Structure 1
Amino acid sequence: MNAPTDISMKTDEVLRVELEVFRQQHRDLDEAIKALEATSTADQLMVKRLKKQKLRLKDIIRLIEDRLTPDIIA
């Protein structure tokens, strides 16, 4: 998984592209987890690892979204 090392150095356009890639990876992991859990012989260690990767991606997605969303002072 390619995590942005320093999102402050990237342009908004690059971040938007990366955001879509990370969102797709997050969806793919979700589908893989569901497929594994649907089998009676699901490897619980693999499921845990995939869930951990999914959480890391979620954190990265949030960081990028926060960077792309302008701060509006009400």
Structure 2
Amino acid sequence: MNKSAKMEEIEVLRVELEVLKSEHRDLDEAIHALDERGGADMLRLRRLKKQKLLLKDKISRIEDRILPDIIA
């Protein structure tokens, strides 16, 4: 892969990363709002939390692709 293609891939990953982070924040706010409301649907809360964890995993994988760990 040439340098130009690699830079383009990194830019695409950065955009995807920002979208995922935004979705993660939105889920966090939704979970918080349901928690505050009290008497929230526990199944719905569990599903939202699971989605949030899946997004966090995707975010971590993309961050690793952008800046891989370097063992010194």
Whether these two folds match at TM > 0.5 is yes
Aligned equivalents of 1:17, 1:29: Cα separation in 2: 19
Tell me, which stretches of 5 or more residues in structure 1 are unaligned? 1-9
CA RMSD of aligned residues (A): 1.4
**TM-score, scaled relative to structure 2:** 0.83
Percentage of identical aligned residues:
65
Cα distance, 1:22 vs structure 2: 0.2
1:61 to 49, 59, 62: 59
User: Which residue, 21, 24, 40 being the options, matches 1:26?
Assistant: 24
Larger fraction in helix: 2
CA shift, 1:39, in A, is: 1.1
Runs of 4+ in 1 over 2 A off after TM superposition: 70-73
Deviations 1:27-46 (A, max 9, x none): 10000000001112211110
Paired with 1:59 and 1:33, the residues of 2 have a C-alpha distance of 18
The structure that has the greater radius of gyration is 2
